[in-house]
A and B are shown apart, each in its own frame.
Chain A
Amino acid sequence: DQQVKQNSPSLSVQEGRISILNCDYTNSMFDYFLWYKKYPAEGPTFLISISSIKDKNEDGRFTVFLNKSAKHLSLHIVPSQPGDSAVYFCAAKPMSNDMRFGAGTRLTVKP
């Protein structure tokens, strides 16, 4: 039962342009959402998060948007840089600890 879904396995963008990664969830009990970034042979690392009481959170080049009615969140990276090339995982958790992840989207930023 995939409660967190990332329907795009891969995305390729040109350096300097915007990258938009999407995520959908099904569990209405989720109240905190996160994005993790993963490089090869490393563990996922935390990137940015958003609480369900907000609809936007910005940190430098990274912005996460949350649409609760659509059960959808997205990560915007602008401008995209080659070093952003990685697998991005969307994650969601309820009040308890059990964090659920999506299948990931591989982002490639071309110079």
Chain B
Amino acid sequence: DAGVIQSPRHEVTEMGQEVTLRCKPISGHNSLFWYRQTMMRGLELLIYFNNNVPIDDSGMPEDRFSAKMPNASFSTLKIQPSEPRDSAVYFCASTISGANVLTFGAGSRLTVL
């Protein structure tokens, strides 16, 4: 079991550039979550999908953020254009719908200069 796989692990970019973060959930898991970790707010839920369908995106900060899940084994979180305040660690997690425990990836650390 390879776990939840995220890429890139680190991304440094300049303000205004587009950033795409990727996630491969655990095979067989049908719920996928994107979280953002900041010092002030801890782990914030951005969006989650059930069976590739976005269920709740109320945590997405603004229109600059978008997330897709084109199939059961892949999801992207895109920021366009990026801003310095988007600097954070972004985590992807997956589970079986209805289960109580999420499995997290190792995270993608984003730095926007």
Contacts and interface: CB of A to CB of B under 8 A. Distances in A.
B71 interface: no
A78 to B, nearest CB: 23
Q: How large is the interface on B (under 10, 10 to 19, 20 to 34, 35 or more residues)?
A: 20 to 34
Interface of A: 2, 6, 32, 34, 36, 41-46, 49, 89, 91, 93, 96-104
Interface residues of A: mostly helix, strand, loop or mixed? loop
A91 B33 CA distance: 14
Contact of B43 (A42, A44, A45, A46): A44
B56 A102 contact: no
Contacts of B44: 101
Interface string B40-84: 111111001010000110000000000000000000000000000
A95 B42 CA distance: 22
Contacts of B31: 97
